[in-house]
Chains A and B, each alone.
Chain A
Amino acid sequence: MFSKSKKADVDKEETTDYKDEYTRISKSTLVQEARTIFNEAKIKPKKCIEVLNKIIYLLNQGEKFTDNEKTNLFFGVTKLFLHDDSTLRRLIYVFIKELRANEDEVFIATSCLSKDMMGENDMYKANALRVLTKIVDKSSLLSIEKQIKTSMVDRSTHVKSSSLVCSIHLLSKYPEMIKKMVGDIQNNLLSGNKELQYHALLLLHEIRKVDPMAILKILSQLTSSQSALPSKLAKVQLIRYIKEILLHANLDARTKGGFIEYLNECLSRNPEMVSFEAAKSLVELSEKMNIDIDQAFKSILDSLCSGENVLKYAALKVMNRLANTNPKEVSLASTELEPLINDQNTSIASMAISTLLKVCTEVYVQKLLAQISHYLPELGDDFKIEVIHSVYLLFLRVPKKSTEQINFLLKCLTGEGTETYKESIVETLMKIGIEGTTADKEQVLLTLCEFIEDCEFRHLQTHIFDFIAKECPNTSNPSVYIRFIYNRVVLEKSIIRAAAVSALGTIGHKIESLRSQIVILLKNCLKDENDEVRERALFYTDLLDYPEENEECHEASSFVFDSLTFDVDKMEQFLLENKDSLIADEDNEEIFNFSTFCTEEQDSVMTRNVQKEAEEKKDTYSTPEQHTKQEEAIEDDSYGIDFSSPPGFELEQSICTRLGIEAPEFSTTTKDITSPSDEYYVQLTGHFHCKKLILQFNVQNNIEEHKLKDITVHLENPKAGYTTVDQISSEESQYPTIVLISEDPSRVFITETFKFKLKFTVIEVDEDGNEEGDYEDEYSLDKVSIAVSDYIGKQALANGQFMNAWEMIKQNEACAERLETFQISFKTLKEAVAGVIDFFGMSVCEGSDKVDETSKSHNLFLAGTFFGMYPVLVRGQIGFNSQYGCVLRVGVRSMNDNAIQTVLECIQ
């Protein structure tokens, strides 16, 4: 489409130092220049354009202008409205949008913009409106409303289209104002003008989204005649809405059938994006309802063979998803899928491999693995890890072919690769070893033994030693592995030797028959030059080298190896409660029993781990980063973080089943909404499960003459973005419950203020307990906030440990970090520190809540867990200056970026 000039070729040869007027612009010089040029008596548009270009460029780069500079620039620019150069005017519009001037200054531009709105120039009108809606405040609301209303019926498409887009943005802030215009919006939607339909549809849907019946009406109207929507964007959007309503609303068979038929019609004679969206929607719908997807499948298959990469990829993604629910159908497409493994585009190749691994039959496993291992070395790291993960899924599906799978992994292990890649292979092998048959286990162990012979990554080596020591007792001939481990003792660096000694010790304890041999090997290590190795060897020799019949020694070594996990909190509590009886009766061993404090499973993290794993198996779209993130988040217990969720009332199993979930992801502590002495004492516990907010109320009636029956919870202030999906009355559950769902996909964690009321039947009771009649009543509750702090748990760290944890979390690859600065309004440093601690609701570390009032700034260290599983660390610096007020600079680290974002939100 375009040709290169000679000049471009010359540029290409130049090395990195590219220079033009946009490289290294000095902000202060530019501001200076702007002041001179904008203030000249006769405006020179060309010069002004040059300067504005550069200012917008800098703003775009994230360059920060001080308030003073902003004010200067802004006033300078408003003068330029006097000149009628259209390009200059357009740049002024962009500039005002980008600058985000101070609120009390921006109104100065409003009058100029309003003037442009009144004029004849469509281009000015359309764009001035876009600027106005971005700087609108309460005072100018009325005039904006008028302008939008007139623009919506303007003769120019450009102006109408602008007014629709502007209305979309205004809707979230001023819904009432936009709702008045529904009629005009509808006219634009049905106007047949393809430039307007997409935005009109977006707007109308957003206005009506809380009202399923109205949405249904719009959708039915638009599907009734194919010609109603010539705009392809609008059509794609319509199909997406249809899919959602089919998935989430209860429709009668006829309406459903009508929509499905419409989707099928869209498959042909439509632009690619439309037919693809229809095919994809049909496939997704087939997971939930019984529909015929032959045509859709055929359409996807055609796209798969398209010459266009984007279409191929999009189609593959659908195939990959279909492979989860309908592997048979997808395996019919094997011939189309196979060539895509070698596709130049890694996203396509990886998706093809992942799909094929999901559907391939037993016979084909070997061939497929051979093919993959041929191409694997050339590919990127993330992609390799994705493949390794798919191989594990393949093992779960076709365990019969485990030998081939393990061999494939061995080949990967010996090939080139980074540490994370190798780690993923080793971990997959271990999983196969644990879950597979004894033969699998032995093959895995031997593979790993061979790998440690020339493994360059220390922590992997020690990890493998540990695994071998744990698993080899369950094999037919454990002595084989001892040789491999002992070889390391002879050849490796001290850190590995120490790990090897520990592994030998463990094996020696577990396998009696080998104990004497191992003791001999351990004794050889007593002369090691390294202190650590020597001490470990001595320790284990002492533990293991005892006559068989000596019970006491045996007990001692069991104690060391089958290490008990104590719940220290439980023990402390127990000791406090039984202090007196323990002191009184020193010999009473029965009261104090260690086993009461042992946690049954290693801890709750392990169980969570297993659940996660199961979810991952289902979750096919997750990227490799995500897996590592999750896995690493789980490994974090290394800094002793307790994951137990805070107490609240548990969600009953019957409710879980009713909502179709296994267990809530997270539950908050119980909080009081009314006081215990009120007529009704109401407490609330929130449970979260993927966009669902399940609120359970515990209602205690304090009026003796009343009995309450059939209590239900109602939302008094329906909020945009939340829909009540279920209500459970006190007759069905101990706690009356309301279930809300958040419709805003960008918000992972719900924070909102709700107002509820209880409805119930009051039964009057006389003194003897006889019922005297009943009536309906309501009881409004105070507002309840679901705040960020509800998601945060305290996590105390030992003194001196904070910086350690701070650095450790950083070393983790998945670790995300954000630095932000906030202006906070507190009167003294002390108040500010207390306030910030309160914001976050986390544990204070290193005693950093003590404030030295004389110093200008204060460092604060906080630790907590987010959503019960992600550790979050916060370092805050609070600066205080009586003139400028209080500034908080805060750095947050966590494995979960969403956690950070949400945590930071609590400051606003």
Chain B
Amino acid sequence: MLLNQIGNIKAVLVLDKEGNALIGKYYNADGMSDSSKRAFEGRLHKASKSNSNSSYENSFFTLEHQIAFYRVYDDISVFVVGQEDDNELVISEVLDTLHECFDEAFTHIIDRESLTNNMTAVILIIDELIDNGIIMTLEAASILERISIKLSDSKGSKKEKVDPKDEEKPAEASGGYLSFTSVFSSAKNSLAKTLAL
């Protein structure tokens, strides 16, 4: 909408395996009817299938003068759509931020079940990330803080392998590093608190 704006986001979408939108947030798209939105989602879904995808890195393609960045998870995929002539790295970083927030809010399991179980967090994260197509911030930590979900400060902990048995053990801190399970449960607690569950 603004003249020569960088980081003009057209849509943030979460699609399921069949390409149906679980979240379909469009910005400045008053001229777009619901049916054309559904059709657009269908084309996004189809195009994302033709690439080889990994959930560890952003994939992308151009479609109708727009560029879509996306990540494919187990049974959902997350899209951020921008203008073709925008700075690609900026749009891509929006998706990175979204991923980071989801990863934290979903306690590292990004899938459909987590999404529906954490709908409040999903709604608020997107609300804090983009306002009318304008990027509010690229800092995942600020977003999480603004919706009262704390980003765990020790990144090392996330890399630790998870032994399924650990999950039964009570959370414990060891040598300054929190183990995965403790992060898991503390995040869950803090989340529970914010959601007043």
Which residues of A does B touch, CB under 8 Å?
1-8, 11-12, 16, 18, 20-22, 45-46, 49, 53-54, 56-57, 60-62, 85-88, 90-91, 93-94, 97, 123, 126, 130, 158, 161, 165, 168-169, 172, 195, 198-199, 202, 205-206, 209, 233, 236-237, 240-241, 244, 272-273, 276-277, 308-311, 313-314, 317, 344-347, 380, 621, 623, 625, 721, 743-746, 818-820, 901, 904-905
Contacts and interface: CB of A to CB of B under 8 A. Distances in A.
B103 A1 contact: yes
28 contacts: A1-B56, A3-B109, A4-B109, A5-B109, A18-B112, A53-B123, A56-B123, A60-B21, A60-B25, A90-B124, A94-B127, A165-B136, A169-B131, A202-B2, A202-B5, A236-B7, A236-B87, A276-B87, A344-B52, A345-B52, A345-B59, A346-B61, A347-B51, A347-B60, A347-B61, A721-B3, A744-B3, A905-B31
B60 A209 contact: no
Given A57-B119, A165-B131, A818 B74 contact: no
Contacts, number: 202
A313 B17 CA distance: 26
A345 B68 CA distance: 13
Contact of B89 (A97, A199, A272): A272
Given A241-B4, A308-B57, 15 more contacts: A2-B110, A2-B158, A11-B112, A49-B195, A53-B120, A57-B119, A87-B195, A158-B146, A168-B134, A198-B135, A276-B87, A623-B62, A625-B64, A745-B3, A819-B33
Contact of A87 (B6, B38, B136, B148): B148
Contacts of A347: 51, 60-62
Given A16-B17, A91-B123, A819-B33, A273 B134 contact: no
B171 interface: no
Interface of A is mostly: helix
B186 interface: no
Contact of B138 (A20, A94, A233): A233
Given A11-B74, A53-B119, A1 B108 contact: yes
Given A2-B110, A62-B24, A346-B50, A310 B134 contact: no
B113 interface: yes
B158 A1 contact: yes
Interface of B: 1-7, 16-18, 21-25, 28, 31, 33-38, 50-52, 56-62, 64-65, 69, 74-75, 84, 87-90, 92-93, 103, 108-113, 116, 119-120, 123-124, 127, 131-132, 134-139, 142, 146-148, 158, 161-162, 164, 180, 194-197
A364 B6 CA distance: 39
Contacts of A623: 62, 64-65
Contacts of B148: 86-87
A276 B89 contact: yes
Nearest to B21: A61
Contacts of B75: 11-12, 18
A90 B89 contact: no
Contacts of A202: 2, 5, 134
Contacts of A625: 64
Q: Which residue, of B25, B161, B196, has the highest number of chain A Cβ atoms within 10 A?
A: B196
Contact of B195 (A46, A130, A310): A46
B69 A11 contact: no
Contacts of A199: 134
Contacts of B146: 123, 126, 158
A310 B51 contact: no
B32 to A, nearest CB: 9
A759 B120 CA distance: 62
Contact of B113 (A20, A310, A745, A905): A20
A18 B16 contact: yes
Given A8-B111, A22-B116, A309-B60, A46 B196 contact: yes
B138 A380 contact: no
Nearest to B119: A53
Given A49-B120, A380-B50, A62 B34 contact: yes
Contacts of B113: 7-8, 11, 20
B88 A314 contact: yes
The 6 closest A-B pairs by CB, nearest first: A2-B108, A273-B89, A62-B34, A314-B88, A53-B119, A310-B92
